[in-house]
Structure 1
Amino acid sequence: MTKGDNGIENVVNVRAQSATPRLGAWRFVTTFGTISLLADFVYEGARSITGPLLASFGATALVVGVITGIGEAAALGLRLLSGPLTDRTRRFWTWTIAGYALTIVTVPVLGIAGTLWVAGTLVIAERVGKAVRSPAKDTLLSHATAVTGRGRGFAVHEALDQVGAVVGPLTVAAVLAATGDDYGPALGVLAIPGVGALALLAWLALKVPQPERYETPRARTSPASTLEAGDAPAVHSPLPGAFWAYCAFTATTMVGFSTFGVLSFHMVTRGILSAAAVPLIYAAAMGADAVAALASGWAYDRVGPKTLAALPVISAAIPAVAFGDQTWLVVCGALLWGAAVGIQESTLRAVVADLVAPARRATAYGVFAAGLGVATAAGGALTGWLYEESRPALVTAVVLIQAAAIVVALATSRLRRRATQ
């Protein structure tokens, strides 16, 4: 951490005088959701044009793939470092602010990059920012969701987040159309929501310097939250067995999950939709993401982990519908894909908070995200290869993988029950 970062943390600590947070838990969640909305406005807007931007510097498809691949690997893999470091330093706000700042600064600068290597470095740096902040951010959010309900809190955050994921690319597209495809203004305009995100984040850190005060035994409202009753405070204590079993379930279901890249490839190459229509389908999928996040989050708080059975079921249905030859079927498949992503980005994160004690939660989020990233990469490669070989074989393989995920989920449920005995 830099001297400036320590200064931020010191200011935050000075404000940590009262025994209870100065904001209600729901206001904390919705404010954090608004911060994520503004940040998604920035980086999803930039990511929507990363390919053509790099191509404007002479990058080949291979170079674009390598740069973006390294970026995504960094965004997930580096959490194995940032998670444990966050738990050790206990500087959750510092890590969160530093990660958001790195993303928000690199995006507008990307618009004035003069060479391919500079642009490529900035693309990767933006993803590193996500790795820096995510374990700390999710841990901060998890404390408030102990009051609101794990599922509902993470679901509302994800729904707000997705608003930015839709508005950002649409704004960039509008600026490009108005300026004759000038990337400078298109990326420069993203500095505006970026400044707003940082200002709101600093305000929230000063208002609630210690969100862990939300998390008292009386505040835990999720059906699974009793797992935390015997939480050990040791930062170096091992992660619970139920957590590792849960990681096995999520990894299994993601290995059988089709990526939107494969879905959009099918849409265009089969002549079902034009390339220009694909972003509209993606935006609709993000809308389904938000709705599914809210629905699964509310269900999780009412009936518990049984809600997650919907994820392998939806994932198994996606290739059977999305890889058809009729437009309405393909659109339905894309909406199912968005719904599955909504569950992944909200309820899956909520369960981690119920399985792991606060002292080790940032580490758990880092491990969880890294495992999810590896499984997602494997799933993308598998479904892409099977698509080229045989669409019926793809459907069959995905159904079998998702059936295996349900078996793993049943084993995970047994471990959870033992943990509460």
Structure 2
Amino acid sequence: METAIILLGGLVAVAAAVVFFGVFEKEKRNEFNMTEISSISRAESVFDRLVSKDGACTAIYIGMFYQSLYINADSGKFIKTRLSAEKKIKEFCGIFGGASARVDGNNYIIVSGAQRDDTAVFCEKFSEFAKNGSNAADISIGAYIAKDEICDFQTAAGYAKKAARFAKNSGAGYKICEGRELDEVIDNENIEKNIEAFIDNDSFYQVFQPYYDAKADKILGCEVLSRLDLDRTDGILPCEFLQVIKKDKNLCVKFDLYTFKRCCEWLVKNADRNLSVACNFSRQTLLSENSASDIIAIAQRTGADFKRIIIEIEDGHSNGGFEILCGNVLLLKKSGFKICLDGFGRGNTALGELSELLPDIIGIDKSVLRGVKNSRGEAVFSGAVRLAKEMNALVLAECIENEIQAETAKKAGCDILQGYYFCKPVNTDELDKLLKNQI
């Protein structure tokens, strides 16, 4: 039977420095403050007994970030919330035969006999309780299933904390892992610690997703996408490293310029293909002063043809720096680059900003196309296309997944089509084959 260890964290912003996310070691057991619900030794002994008896044990860590409770010094509300949490913990232990201990102030360890599905239900219900009852600003839950005595109590607890950190970073709410699933959690932590070194050491490679002429059904060019290879069998998803990069503006700029340099180098080596290439830039990068000058300098050093490069800007908020963004875009356009506004229709770019940026290409967000399920959805999509046309921009329909979406985009007047329905991202050799087949 699968069983559960539950580590419940009341992580307070003012005390965040004391939170320990590393793997527990037996030598560090004295780091726990022995505040009793039961005791930490009791929780550990129950863990050992359950693993020995049932051959499996699941560790769950729950982090709750209280902001308003401490800022407002509302100690009465905090105590009430804590007692309510402890009541739910005791109920859980009572149902599944476990033990619990409060540790390091507002953190909890619970050892129980819950199976994986029961643990998931508890995670979901406790998250709902915490959000509605405690006004916690953020909640993250991680779980690790230890099997066949391959790790001790402290190690299982450490893996659970890593899983919680993964859940927080991915926005998934909670993460339950076992066996090879743990690789994803460890890789995520590795990415956070080493992302800048990965850039410096050129650990990324590029793939290419073609985009097609809507009328001629021929490849016009391709979007250059970066991938990170850490020798994981299922690969590293782009969101896993991009969410880390986007936390730091300086890292965003560094990564975007690194990727752009690789894009330019590829374009020069493959000048005979006569393709245009689109390179993605975060809005944070183009909100940085002198970023346009840096982009131009890289293209000049590599010898890339400016007119064949599309600077693809993600949709988003300018946060008061719109004049800088406009200045960078204007300089790039004057230098010969084409500008594509990506993800239009997501709701972040104001129409006033759109009229100032005057992009050469407007990419309609996938959510707008997927919303074409009735006449109203079709009207919204057609309206977005019509608006782009009135601004003298070419219209790109992104993330097309099936024939119906492709025909809808063509009918609405889109000029450029892209998505898995036509072609997934491919390497250079596969791109060559696609180009030869259309000659």
Question: What TM-score comes out, normalization by structure 1 length?
Answer: 0.24
Higher strand residue share: 2
Higher helix share: 1
